[in-house]
Each structure stands twice: as C-alpha cells, then as structure tokens.
Amino acid sequence: MSQSRTILITGVSSGFGQALATEALAAGHRVIGTVRSDEAATAFEAHESKRAHARLLDLTDTPSITPVVNEISDEFGLIDVLVNNAGYGHEGILEESSTEEMRRQFEVNVFGAVEMIKAVLPSFRERRAGHIINITSMGGYITMPGIAYYCGSKFALEGISDTLSKELAPFNIHVTAVAPGSFRTDWAGRSMRRSPRSIADYDTLFDPVRQARKDKSGQQLGDPVKAAQAMLEIMKSKTPPAHLLLGCDALGLVRGQLVDRSREIDVWETLTVSTDG
C-alpha cells in the first residue's frame, strides 16, 4: 500500500477485527485495537511489527468511549480510519427472548458504534478527511427465524451508515457499511448469545435452524483473511462504496431479497398509490 495509515479497530481479539488488524499490520499500517482484558491487550501488543497498540474499552460503558478515543489521538496523532467491528450475535425466538437481551444487543452493535463515530468526527471534519467502516451483516438486508434482535441491530447500523455517508460527503469523509455473509469467525460459536427455548410451538420451525447454525460454525465458506484484504482495498480507494457485500452467499441472498421486495411492491402498487390526494 502506498500510504501508511493509523487505523482504529474495535474488537481485535477475534473474528474480522483480528484478521483485519493482522493484515493491516502486515501492510505497514499502525493499528490501535480495542480489547476487553489486560491479557488480550498484552497479546495484541506483542505483535512483531511494534505497530500494534491496544486500549481497554467496553462499548457498553458509553461515558468512557470519547475519553479513550481522545487519549488515542493525543498519543498517536490523527486517526485515518475507524473500523466499527466489535459486536456479537444474539439467537432466539423473539417471543422467548427478553427485552434486556435486545437492549444489550443494540447497546453493543449500534450505540457503541455510534459513540465511536461521534468521538472521531470532530477531527475528521476539521481535516476534511477520514473513512468510517461499519461492519454490519447480510443480516442487515435479509432475515431468518431466530435472529430478530441481531438483524434489527444490523438493519439499524446499515441505515445509520447510509444516512451518515450523505451527511459527511461535503467534508470528504467516506462511510462504508461492510456486510459479510457467513464467514469462519466465532459469530455462531462462542460469541453467540442464545436465549433458552421455552415455547414448544416453535420447535418445528426453529430447532433445526439452531442446530444447523451450530453444525455449520467453523465450516463456512467465507475466509476472514480475504475479508480483511477486501476492507484494506476499499481503504485505498478515493471513491469507496457506501455499501459492500462480502461473500457469494451474501450476494445471492441479498439479490434474491431485492427481487422479492420489488415483486411485492409491484403486486401492491395500486393500493400504495391509492392513498394520494
């Protein structure tokens, strides 16, 4: 890569965050990664490049976010790219899942990301430069039984990203929502929070879905390293996309969803326009 950058990535201990940090360091960038424990911080900073720097941060601790970002800027200088990667999946039938689980899902996947964005924006806007990458999901476009809270959080982050890209365009600040499909991360494994089953009416619908998701974990087609390389590619672009799908499953499923939605709009067009006047 022709230019070394300072990249702030949330959640570098595993998954996409770990893969992106590793690839970015190999490409000559400096990476500041957020982690949840001293052990994880020590492990990250042991990288041979000496350009890996860790900061402890819990995204549910809202008041701590801006001070941590300001501390990073004071110590390392200007941040060029923010990657909102930290997040997790919640699995559970909506009727069986507590609203507290939903609040926690949104606190990490949505509110934490927004607070990170708000912390870097003054500097980005002052410089008229910067790139924000929000890692969403194909679950921000399509849905399936048992992940309503997760899909809701990713739909929200997709919408926020799209709106933000329009607000920041006059300042030469780019926003990209990266929506991966199924990748070999811990999303469906140890990182997944699962609500217990309690209503037998859902057994036939959901039990096979839950079991299939567990069985598939670790066997997905998507390679996190290649996803990381794709994200580094858009960082190089002078005109990065506002939305980027990753993985052939995401491509096929999202395209199918768009076709189905268009077909439904056509079917109900007469009723839609009947409300005018």
Q: Are 56 and 41 contacting, i.e. CB atoms less than 8 angstroms apart?
A: yes
Paired tokens of 151? 């899909």
The active-site residue, picked from 88, 141, 149, 150, is 150
Is 150 a known active-site residue? Answer: yes
Closest CA to 180 of 20, 23, 26: 20
Distance, in Å, from the CA atom of 30 to the CA atom of 26, rounded to the nearest integer, reads 10
Q: For residue 55, which phi and psi values (nearest 5 degrees)?
A: -135, 135
The single residue listed with the structure tokens 């941590």 is: 68
Closest CA to 191 of 110, 85, 82: 85
Going by their DSSP bridges, the two strands 30-35 and 6-10 should be labelled as parallel
* Cα-trace Rg, the chain: 20
- Which residues have a catalytic role annotated? 150
